[in-house]
Amino acid sequence: MTTLPVNDAGAPEATPRRISRRATGADAVFEHAARAVGASVLLITGGVGVFLAWQAVPTLQHYGLSFLTEERWEPESDVIGIGGVLVGTVSIAAVAMCFAFPLALLTALYISEYAPARARGLLVSVIDLMAAIPSIVYGLWGFFLVMPHAAELARFLESTFPWVPFFDVRGSDPDAAVWDTSRYVASAFCAGIAVAMMVMPMACAVMRQVFSQSPPGEREAALALGATRWGVIRTVVLPFGRGGIIGGTMLGLGRALGETIAVVLIISPAFEIKWNVLEIGTNSVSALIAVQFGDASPAQLSALLAAGFVLFLLTLVVNTFAAVIVNRSRAGDGDA
């Protein structure tokens, strides 16, 4: 028979209960379900990467590193490379972020700092609704509405900043009385504007969430010291949200690199390394795969899958970098 220890008064002493961190009941079900879902996402992503890598082996063995540097895509001549489309992919994404970054930042600041409380929920819903619009709608909008005005803007940029090499358009005179509009349409610049409207809601959502979590104590301290609303934003909100700004921008960049349908509808395909974004003709990896996939031979299909593998690695690196930055954006820590 086990006897319990007693204190000086003769009463049994209470022994501490062993605490177990093992989940039981509903907590255990939720824990195992969350682990299964997380593991399945990793398995699917890894499976996609392994499949693309396996399919890319014949192409990489046949063409070697020239597959990444060759700009021509001529299967009938056994000359295939994605150098030109990689440059086009980066050009379209860069143009998109030049428009999307300031729009996302200013919109997030307005919603979190300036918008009336009654209108804030509506504005958040509108921005989130923009992310749900199909890509083909943005492509049609960019082709029929944006492109004519983008051509005029491109001509203005070339004539105003002729010393910028990216704004040079070959075979055109921007100061001519009658200028050739066809030289400024279906370019990386036009496609980038449409893509910018697609990635802006994603970047804005990340920035808005980080701005809304800025410490109220520091806000009140800045106001108590006589700071204006802009002073609070400049000294408290923006330093605190630096990680969210960078992370949201990088997430938007990852989306811009892989955009397909809108780019296919707008661009005029060109297989050459072209850095001048205002000139007609460009291409992207995703658009190349979408256009060439239906009529591809087995060898061409392997090349397209190899291009998809390169795009997969590029977007994976960008999104991983963005996730690391967002995770490092902690409450009270303004460092990225």
pLDDT in tens, 304-331: 999 999 999 988 888 888 777 767 754 4
Give the Cα separation of 98 and 193 in Å (integer). Answer: 9
pLDDT value at residue 190: 92
Q: Does residue 206 sit within a domain?
A: yes
- The pLDDT of residue 94 is above 90: yes
Average pLDDT over residues 166-194: 80
Residue 29, both tokens? 């079900």
83 or 181: whose pLDDT is higher? 83
**% of the chain with per-residue pLDDT over 70:** 88
Its domain, for residue 113, covers: 84-327
Residue with tokens 């593998």: 309
Residue 194 is predicted with a pLDDT of 93
> How high is the pLDDT of residue 60?
87
Q: Is residue 13 part of a domain?
A: no
Check whether 175 has a pLDDT greater than 70: no
Percent of the chain residues topping a pLDDT of 90: 25
Give the mean pLDDT of 19-35.
77
Asked if residue 214 belongs to a domain, the reply is yes
- Does 76 fall in a domain? no
pTM assigned to the model: 0.84
Q: What is the mean pLDDT of the chain?
A: 84
- On whether residue 301 sits in a domain, the answer given is yes
For residue 69, being part of any structural domain is answered with no
Give the CATH number for residue 274: 1.10.3720.10
Count of domains observed in the chain:
1
Examine the pLDDT at 279 and tell me if it is beyond 70.
yes
Residue 16 lies in a domain: no
Query: What is the crossing angle of helices 285-292 and 83-109, to 10°?
Result: 120
Residue 105 lies in a domain: yes
Mean pLDDT of 144-172: 85
The CA angle 245-153-149, to the nearest 5 degrees, is: 100
- Reference 264, options 32, 119, 92; nearest CA is 92
